[in-house]
Amino acid sequence: MYADDGLLRVSRTAGGHRRITVTDAIRFIRDTHAPLVHPEVPGLRDVQAANLDAAGGDPDEERLHRYLVDGRTREARGLIMSLYLGGESIATIADNQIRPAMYRIGERWRHSEEGIFVEHRATDICVQGVQQLRAALDVDERAPVAVGGAAPHDPYLLPSLLAATVLADEGFRTINLGPDTPLDVLLIAARENQARLTWLSISAAENTNTLSTDLNELANRLEQLGSRFIVGGQRAGSLPPSMREPVHTATSMSELAAFGKGIRLAAPLGGATAPN
């Protein structure tokens, strides 16, 4: 019925059967708030695992923290996806659930010998969950491009991946260069892909004064290319006040989403092709 009414996009197999992609199924569930009766059908079994554990009534952030500490991968991925299916933006999930849960785990190494192991495992689980979200997004191939990565000598995977996924949720085709990205490489990626937005995640920095000078220079060169530049992450707030326009800062993924949305609305469809 939903397909007949044009609410759900379907294709036909060679045998004439209807086929619904996971991306279209997720979009439909978010748009209509339809219940997920058979999560195994669209390939969302993780959601079922999380739903079965929801009877206790704990807050979502507390549940995610517990899953990550215990290494319960399916439940953690399922909770992240179920929040998205329920209508939460990826930026909100990042700020309200993933960030506080990972912060608590990151503090654990100071008090427990097993803390580093738990933190690395939790990071991997979150990366899996965010990658599932990113793969579920349907971004127009004509949409503007955003490129980014983590700062030089910054080894963290998750913050830049979250930034890429948040911006994809806002309609950008995103290219995530990952951890320890040289600034010259970031500039090349922005130029080659005609990026309208360039981001940099700073969770670790060896010398913030030197980095600040380099970022100002990078921002000026990006401005000449027509690319807006924004930095964020735990150490972004420690950059000296000498940083000025055209360097923008974000203290949360929601701020990044709002910044990207403004650029996205001002950017016409079209431009260089790049992967989501």
Strands (E), 141-222: 145-150, 173-176, 197-201
Q: What is the DSSP letter of 12?
A: E
C-alpha span between 263 and 92 (Å, rounded): 19
Task: For the chain, give every domain's residue range.
Answer: 35-136, 145-266
Exposure on the CB side of residue 124, measured as CA atoms within 13 A? 11
CATH superfamily of 145-266: Cobalamin-binding domain (3.40.50.280)
In the structure, what pLDDT confidence band is assigned to residue 113 with cuts at 50, 70 and 90? confident
In the structure, what pLDDT confidence band is assigned to residue 124 with cuts at 50, 70 and 90? very high
Contact by Cβ (8 Å): 170, 185: no
Which whole number is the average pLDDT over 53-70? 86
Contact by Cβ (8 Å): 233, 203: yes
The model's pTM: 0.84
Question: What percent of the chain has a predicted confidence (pLDDT) above 70?
Answer: 76
Among 77-91, 174-188, 256-270, the range scoring the smallest mean pLDDT is: 256-270
Average pLDDT taken over every residue of the chain? 84
Among 57-61, 121-125, 236-240, the range scoring the smallest mean pLDDT is: 236-240
C-alpha span between 249 and 256 (Å, rounded): 8
Collapsing DSSP to helix, strand or coil, 86 comes out as: coil
Query: Tens of pLDDT along 215-229?
Result: 989 999 999 999 999
Which whole number is the average pLDDT over 156-164? 97
C-alpha span between 246 and 219 (Å, rounded): 6
In the structure, what pLDDT confidence band is assigned to residue 56 with cuts at 50, 70 and 90? low
CA nearest 218: which of 151, 135, 141? 151
C-alpha span between 169 and 257 (Å, rounded): 8
Q: Which pLDDT score is estimated for 50?
A: 79
Q: What is the DSSP letter of 157?
A: S
The single residue listed with the structure tokens 């579920």 is: 136
Q: Which residue has the higher pLDDT, 47 or 33?
A: 47
